[in-house]
């Protein structure tokens, strides 16, 4: 199985940069999407706890995904932490096999 580059999303100042609007589409079973956070301190200040910034959608394994980035945590109890979630955007409840994903940080 080959791994393919599935795009890059750049976050700066608390928002997704428009210059990263294009995504790479790959149908390989394995792939990666690069999430770059520029000026982390400003992004952390601009984004309240429990609010997030989503990456550009990207395709891996024939499915559309995105990364949700919480610079101040997913909940109030983890406000001093960064939370990341990889979300399947085209979930099909009637699929024959469940979609599984894993990620590395």
What does pLDDT average to in each consecutive run of 10 residues of the chain (105 residues)?
A: 74 79 59 88 90 90 89 92 90 70 73
71 touches 47 (CB < 8 A)? yes
pLDDT at 94: 65
Say what the pTM is.
Answer: 0.80
- Helix (H), strand (E) at residue 40: helix 40-46
pLDDT at 103: 73
Q: How far apart are CA 17 and CA 9, in angstroms?
A: 8
pLDDT at 13: 81
Q: Where are the domains of the chain?
A: 3-88
pLDDT at 60: 83
């Amino acid at each position: 199985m080959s791994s393919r580059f599935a795009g890059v999303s750049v976050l700066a100042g608390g928002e997704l940069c428009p210059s990263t609007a294009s995504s790479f589409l790959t149908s390989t079973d394995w792939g990666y999407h690069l999430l770059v956070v520029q000026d982390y301190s400003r992004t952390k200040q601009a984004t309240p706890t429990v609010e997030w910034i989503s990456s550009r959608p990207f395709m891996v394994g024939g499915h559309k995904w995105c990364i949700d980035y919480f610079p101040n945590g997913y909940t109030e109890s983890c406000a001093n932490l960064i939370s990341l979630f990889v979300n399947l955007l085209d979930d099909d409840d009637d699929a024959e096999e469940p979609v599984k994903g894993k990620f590395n940080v």
